[in-house]
Amino acid sequence: MKRLSCVALIIMAVFLMSVMLRGVSAQEGQQQYVDSTGMAAIINNDMPAARDRAIEDARRKAVEQVVGTMVDSETLVQNFQLVNDRIYSQTTGFICGDKVTNESHDSNTYTVTIHACVKEGNLENDLLAIGICLRRIGNPRTMLMIAEQNMGEDIHGWWQQGSNLGIVEQKIMEAFNDKGFQLIDPMVAQGKIRAVRAVGGEPDPSYAVQVGKAFDAEYVVIGKALVTCKAKDQYGFFNCYANITTRIVKVDNGRIFGTGSAAGKQAHIEANESGVRALQKAADELSPKLIKAVTTRCEKETGGGNEYKIIISNATSLAKLRPFIEALNTVRGVSSVTRRGFGNGQAELEVMCKCRAEDLADEIEDKTGATVTGQSANTLNVRLK
């Protein structure tokens, strides 16, 4: 028996060690080790204070090095002040360890070199929080259209009834705002609500496109949130369950590029309050999924290129269209041009380009001689000469 117990303990120890090693390996995969040098002025001959400031300067520069490997140089230059301010205020949140490898001073300056560990995961999340990725695709505006129904209430949607937000929309809006997203403000949108017809339930993608265009949104999150409750239990509590399902629609082309669902449950002595808290829990679970879907789309568009639709007028013949397509293929960042339709003086092209819509519009006029007559986030209207 003793021998069997010893064997069992050894097996358990090996298992725990393997789990710990996998955990360490996973953590190391989210870290970078860099060397950096910081400097600080010596004031009133206070060496310890100068040394502390030099170390802090070295830490900031270590984080800046890692930032440079995670975003392109153009983005870093354009957003330098924003990134720099965040690094100055939150360096300790990014540094997972450092060691002074060299230090020296003269009569005016203290210099310190450190070998630092920088947490990539924390830094990546923070870069998203300050909108670096979103800025790279032109700060798309997002609109929420969540049809919501709590126990004993009619179905609700601010896009139908005015500026009063539902519980789910409010929680998602708070999460999106924290990450730097631009959301359509219901109070601003209220003046345009008459431009579109009201809907009594969950909107469909085609209606989301119509509303999104009326409200100048690039993305629309559509979905429904429904609460169901069980009868009071033996302790006098209602147990309510909230289920939310959503889709993210790109207004320009009507395509769904992301989905998300979540559930929450909560017990309370009042059915309505139980439903409210269940909705809040579900919305808290859902928000990160939606944010991830949008930022993944952002990474795709800034990495592999964005897809643009170019609608061409005055395309009276293929002989007139071909030179435009040939010139378009020479535009910087364009990786492919596909003809999707041609006839009756119009043509439609699908273009993949590592650029913003406004940059593509400028390049089209410069390289092809055609006139850009309209532009949105992912569609350009062009007229040939």
Specify the length of the chain in residues: 385
Domain shared by 297 and 327, yes or no: no
Domain shared by 212 and 333, yes or no: no
Q: Directed axis angle between helix 271-303 and helix 167-178, to 10°?
A: 40
Structural domain contains residue 233: yes
Task: Report d(CA 217, CA 240) in Å as an integer.
Answer: 34
Domain shared by 247 and 297, yes or no: yes
Domain shared by 42 and 117, yes or no: yes
Q: What is the mean pLDDT of residues 45-54?
A: 91
Give 227's Cβ-side CA count (13 Å radius).
32
Structural domain contains residue 96: yes
64 near 58, Cβ under 8 Å?
no
Domain shared by 241 and 357, yes or no: no
Q: Specify the pLDDT at position 18.
A: 43
Categorize the per-residue pLDDT at 22 as very low, low, confident or very high, splitting at 50, 70 and 90. very low
Domain shared by 160 and 223, yes or no: yes
Final residue of a structural domain among 303, 320, 338: 303
Q: Per the structure block, which two tokens stand in for 61?
A: 């520069």
Domain enclosing residue 176, as ranges:
138-303
Predicted model pTM: 0.56
Q: For residue 102, list its beta bridge partners.
A: 113
Q: Specify the pLDDT at position 81.
A: 53
Final residue of a structural domain among 256, 277, 303: 303
Domain shared by 255 and 279, yes or no: yes
Structural domain contains residue 356: yes
Strands 141-149 and 182-183 turn out to be parallel
Domain shared by 126 and 144, yes or no: no
Q: For residue 375, list its beta bridge partners.
A: 380
Domain shared by 263 and 288, yes or no: yes
Domain shared by 125 and 162, yes or no: no
Domain shared by 197 and 336, yes or no: no
Q: What is the mean pLDDT of residues 35-39?
A: 93
Final residue of a structural domain among 288, 303, 318: 303
Of all residues in the chain, the percent with pLDDT exceeding 90 is 31
The string of pLDDT tens digits covering residues 294-341 is 877 766 665 556 788 899 999 999 999 999 999 998 887 788 888 988
The domain total for the chain is 3
DSSP assignment letter at 46: -
100 near 31, Cβ under 8 Å?
no
Categorize the per-residue pLDDT at 119 as very low, low, confident or very high, splitting at 50, 70 and 90. confident
**Which CATH number goes with the domain that contains 56?**
3.30.1660.40
Which residues, 6 or more positions from 140, have their beta carbon under 8 angstroms from its beta carbon? 134, 182, 218, 219, 294, 377
382 near 370, Cβ under 8 Å?
yes
Residue 208 Cα distances to 117, 142, 299, 374, angstroms: 46, 11, 24, 21
Structural domain contains residue 272: yes
3-state class of 26 per DSSP? helix
